[in-house]
Amino acid sequence: MTEADIAAAVEEFASAARNAVAAGLDGIELHAANGYLLEQFLNANVNTRTDGYGGSAAARNRFTLEVARACVAAIGKARVGIRVSPHGVFNATGTFAGDDEQYVAYHDLEWGVPLRDERALFELLCLEGFQAGLSWITILRKR
């Protein structure tokens, strides 16, 4: 995907969110698990990009957070959540080195618990996700 393709996809997510609410749904849950597009950006096994959307945890988070912010802007923060699956193995995603640590969110804004590791992908996703306006984050745990 080019950066223009990514910008178009962000708008398509926002449009789909608006359509869902217009059709009578209460809200949406962004699906960033099971090999779907958002997880392909988040997962270090399949995201081999070398631009601003790959490499570091923050760069891998970028597309998902842009989608989340666009959906929140489109339908309101009370209507948007996200689902991630740290140990899903569909579509070549699967686990990667340090994934257990990356999927644990220790940061609590209300209680002031510090971020355990600023590089941790899903700690960043939780922190930045709530700052982006997400209402909930569903994390499927390892069996």
Among 76, 101, 91, 73, which Cα is nearest to 31's? Answer: 91
Return the DSSP state at 55: S
Q: How many CA atoms lie within 13 A of 117 on its CB side?
A: 12
Residue 36: active-site member: yes
Of the residues 36, 53, 103, 106, which is catalytic?
36
Cα–Cα distances in Å, from 49 out to 43, 63, 69? 11, 12, 22
Whether the CB-CB separation of 72 and 134 falls below 8 Å is answered with: yes
Longest dimension (CA), the chain: 42
Active-site residue list: 36
